[in-house]
Structure 1
């Protein structure tokens, strides 16, 4: 679910505060407790000053990375306003649509899926108000019609699923032959435990219970899961706090990172 709660004092909202994206998207991976936790935040998802405030600040940085990877993968001119025109995009753990809507504006036919029905209801209402035709599903990834997608994203989701390997395999099964997959997730380091879990929850930047540090994946662990699902990592970058801009790409991966992959 785009998790909605800020993360760290660097604080990475799981798209649902940092993606509080939805969590387990297959029958084997959905974690009911996680789905309920983020579903309770649905009504506040689109409030830029609410519980998802940090996510609203983080989203432009993630979008910049996604755009760079789109341009590189499909050799698109950076000046093109609709680089996803004619392509299908799937946002898994979409929350209330913070990422799905920008992808639609980039020209994609977007499908969003989230484990929390409350998030999907909020996403549908907001998209309708924006005049955006986005297809939303509540439930497991397997509940979607049988089809593949050119772009598959899951931002701040894998750390919330019950079975990361099964989750990645499910994402890979939905990726078209020439498709691009982009994930983001916090790293399991001493710094992330201090800033994204302990400090964030203590100061109220993230709702208590949002993160389980033991479930965070190190880059090499996520890479192994992707390779095990028949994918090849093509790029990886850190996502870190910036005094000037709030967040920035590149540099340290100690708190959070993004990773792009394609079929091997």
Structure 2
């Protein structure tokens, strides 16, 4: 393909850390801490949008979900346990290898593929739900990436996008604080210049035929040592969009 979203330096960066995906105290510790709030957001909106029973053990039976840039499968596994048919795609082959091993050890059937969003579009794939979580700030060619993710959403389906806002506060907290002071993340994990504002993300979604139906900030509560959904979108945020049926 003549165009790609793959940034080789970013792939190398995450490949080097791949062995630690499932270590809650390792280099992905912040993502393990972040996972409950994004899973709760995803679950609640899937229940509401697809009119599922919130008390069911496997409420997402019959739903086909794609996690773009799935890493080691931190979202794929709980969504599979909730009944969804999950495809995890990642451009880093080592991430997919780790994800496959962990899923097998967990007794879960997940369709893991070393691939990109644009390759899945070229293959004619379509999903009820596309997860675009903490990936867009690591890719090349953001318009192509957002278009390919949107093109994978079936009519009536949803796309969740989570990323970091490009503000002075995100520089102070996500770069200086998280990487240099608290050392939650390895230095160089993020490039502030590649962060996108909510307005930029929303414009990309609308340009590609999706309607934004919800947005929320995500903030860290140091006293509880947990992340929570909040109105403040100055640093971390999530946007939910749907393709008209």
Q: TM bucket by the smaller chain? A: over 0.9
TM-score by length of 1: 0.87
Deviations 1:17-60, CA, capped at 9 Å, x for gaps:
xxxxxxxxx95211111011011110011001111111111101
Pick from 172, 176, 197 the counterpart of residue 198 of structure 1: 176
Q: Aligned partners of 1:77 and 1:238: how far apart in 2?
A: 26
Q: Aligned partners of 2:115 and 2:86: how far apart in 1?
A: 16
Offset, 1:74: 1.1
Is 1:122 matched with 2:98? yes
Cα RMSD after superposing both structures: 1.4
Alignment of 1:1-264 (within 5 A): 27-144=3-120, 145-203=123-181, 204-242=183-221, 243-264=223-244
8 Å CA contact 1:226, 1:233 repeated in 2: yes
Higher helix share: 2
SS of equivalent to 2:66? strand
Deviations 1:209-230, CA, capped at 9 Å, x for gaps:
1111111111111000000011
Q: Aligned partners of 2:165 and 2:57: how far apart in 1?
A: 33
Q: Aligned partners of 1:129 and 1:106: how far apart in 2?
A: 18
| Higher relative contact order (Cα pairs below 8 Å, separated by 6+ residues) | 1
Q: Aligned partners of 1:261 and 1:124: how far apart in 2?
A: 29
User: Any stretches of 5+ residues in structure 1 without a counterpart?
Assistant: 1-25
SS of equivalent to 1:33? helix
Q: What is the aligned length?
A: 239
Q: Aligned partners of 1:253 and 1:29: how far apart in 2?
A: 26
SS of equivalent to 1:65? helix
Offset, 1:245: 4.7
SS of equivalent to 1:260? strand
Q: Aligned partners of 1:139 and 1:32: how far apart in 2?
A: 14
Offset, 1:251: 2.5
8 Å CA contact 1:96, 1:120 repeated in 2: yes
Q: Aligned partners of 1:76 and 1:120: how far apart in 2?
A: 30
